[in-house]
């Protein structure tokens, strides 16, 4: 796994770069080095114990499909008191929550939201189009999915600034140490759950036709969801609804601004956009990795793992694996059989994937219809956050 720079001196493994700014900004170089040198890597974790990192498509997909080996239980701690439902529950218990929630995000149900989504996108563009410039992250990618999430769930739009603050405190806390970061997450988690407890009680008293109301009045195995189950589910939906589509829009627009020929192709033929969404999800994979824990002693790729090891499924690396995708390093909007893992795989495959596809497709359609020519400003210095690739300094100018 380690190469030698000089006698007795070990060079850093590519796996050591996974959580760095270097990898967030240029992930493909790290991905390819991992697949070549240490496709299954087990090394000491900065948090104690050992961490296993998987980077090949075949291994990542197998791990995602086998929670009896790579479990999600107790893995994600974002400061909340309750496990995030259904992410933190493995099969067979996991299935009962998906039976309630999956129909809420089914393709046919999402299609009914398209006109509403298109209206939100155009309202967002209206706010800056006359200026000929915008901060795409701050003015489009960040508020738009969050606004739609609040409408979908039936929460007040006036609470948007607070939700964005909680999102950033949870996923990207500004702290000098891990302990400080965890304290910020814990405070945000407590505030989020306090907010949701009051909001859910309001839905009990005054039901409407929105998602949270249907969850409060829905059933799991013939019974209402408990307080802990509801709070855990709401917390997960908040993070998924407010962060991942934002990061995806950032990644896509940065790529298209840097490759104007690809941007112009979408302008000339909007019919390419659905396939472009899938290909950019694969190539730019905003959620670079998903965490798991090794539940039982196991060997994979000649590497012995021990129960209790933490694990990282490098879905971004899997999505550019040449053994799975022809010409994986290139972007092809006409790619066939695009079985990317940007939404994960197996029983924990992203609950909101069809909603995300709707938001991304409509956003790209309307943005390119109204702003067909755009570029990064000359002094923009775009960098991405590690883990989930949200961009900063995403300033655009356009005619």
- 123-152 tens-digit pLDDT: 999 999 999 999 999 999 999 998 898 889
- 7-30 tens-digit pLDDT: 344 456 888 899 999 999 999 999
Low-confidence ranges of the chain (pLDDT < 70): 1-12, 78-80
pLDDT of residue 11: 54
- In this structure, what is the dihedral angle of CA atoms 235, 309, 44, 87, given to the nearest 10 degrees? -20
Q: How far apart are CA 201 and CA 224, in angstroms?
A: 13
Helix axes 245-258, 143-153, angle to 10 degrees: 150
183 close to 189: Cβ distance less than 8 angstroms:
no
**pTM for the whole structure:** 0.92
Could you tell me the CA-to-CA distances from 378 to 133, 255, 259, 265 in Å, in that order? 12, 16, 15, 23
Number of structural domains, the chain? 1
Rg of the chain, C-alpha, whole Å: 21
Phi, psi of 378, deg, nearest 5: -60, -35
What secondary structure does DSSP assign to 63-85, as a single string?
HHH-TTTEE-TTT--SS-SSPPT
Query: What's the distance, CA 26 to chain centroid?
Result: 18
Secondary structure class of 314 (helix, strand, coil): coil
pLDDT of residue 80: 67
Peptide bond into 342 cis (omega under 30): no
pLDDT of residue 388: 93
pLDDT of residue 5: 36
Q: How far apart are CA 344 and CA 339, in angstroms?
A: 10
By residue range, what is the domain housing residue 42?
A: 4-398
307 close to 293: Cβ distance less than 8 angstroms:
no
pLDDT of residue 4: 31
397 close to 132: Cβ distance less than 8 angstroms:
yes
Take residue 381 and report the two structure tokens written for it. 């210095």
Sequence-distant (≥ 6) Cβ neighbours of residue 126 within 8 angstroms: none
CATH of the domain at 160: 1.10.630.10
326 close to 44: Cβ distance less than 8 angstroms:
no
Q: How far apart are CA 208 and CA 175, in angstroms?
A: 40
């Amino acid at each position: 796994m380690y190469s030698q720079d000089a006698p007795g001196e070990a060079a850093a493994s590519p796996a050591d770069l996974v959580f760095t700014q270097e990898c967030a900004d240029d992930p493909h170089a790290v991905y390819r080095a991992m697949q070549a040198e240490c496709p299954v890597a087990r090394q000491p974790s900065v948090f104690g114990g050992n961490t296993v990192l998987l980077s090949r498509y075949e291994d990542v997909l197998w791990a995602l499909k086998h929670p009896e080996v790579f479990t999600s239980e107790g893995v994600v701690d974002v400061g909340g008191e309750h496990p995030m439902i259904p992410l933190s529950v493995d099969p067979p218990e996991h299935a009962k929550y998906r039976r309630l929630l999956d129909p809420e995000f089914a393709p046919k149900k999402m299609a009914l939201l398209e006109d509403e989504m298109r209206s939100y996108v155009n309202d967002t563009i209206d706010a800056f189009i006359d200026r000929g410039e915008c901060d795409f992250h701050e003015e489009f990618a960040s508020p738009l999915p969050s606004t739609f999430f609040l409408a979908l769930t039936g929460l007040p739009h006036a609470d948007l600034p607070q939700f964005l603050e909680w999102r950033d405190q949870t996923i990207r806390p500004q702290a000098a140490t891990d302990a400080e970061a965890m304290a910020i997450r814990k405070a945000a988690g407590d505030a989020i759950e306090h907010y949701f407890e009051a909001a859910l009680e309001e839905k009990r008293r005054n039901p409407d036709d929105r998602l949270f109301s249907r969850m409060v009045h829905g059933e799991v195995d013939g019974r209402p969801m408990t307080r802990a189950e509801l709070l855990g589910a709401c917390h997960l939906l908040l993070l998924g609804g407010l962060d991942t589509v934002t990061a995806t829009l950032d990644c896509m627009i940065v790529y298209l601004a840097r490759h104007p020929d690809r941007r112009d192709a979408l302008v000339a033929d909007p019919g390419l956009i659905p396939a472009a969404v899938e290909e950019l999800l694969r190539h730019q994979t905003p959620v670079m990795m998903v965490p798991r824990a090794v539940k039982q002693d196991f060997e994979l790729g000649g590497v012995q793992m021990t129960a209790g090891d933490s694990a990282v499924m490098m879905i971004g690396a899997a999505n550019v694996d040449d053994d799975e995708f022809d010409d994986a390093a290139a972007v092809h909007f006409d790619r066939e059989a695009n079985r990317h893992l940007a939404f994960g795989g197996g029983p924990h495959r992203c609950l909101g994937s069809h909603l995300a596809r709707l938001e991304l497709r409509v956003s790209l359609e309307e943005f390119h219809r109204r702003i067909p020519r755009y570029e990064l400003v000359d002094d923009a210095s775009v960098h991405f956050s590690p883990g989930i690739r949200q961009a900063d300094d995403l300033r655009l100018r356009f005619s």
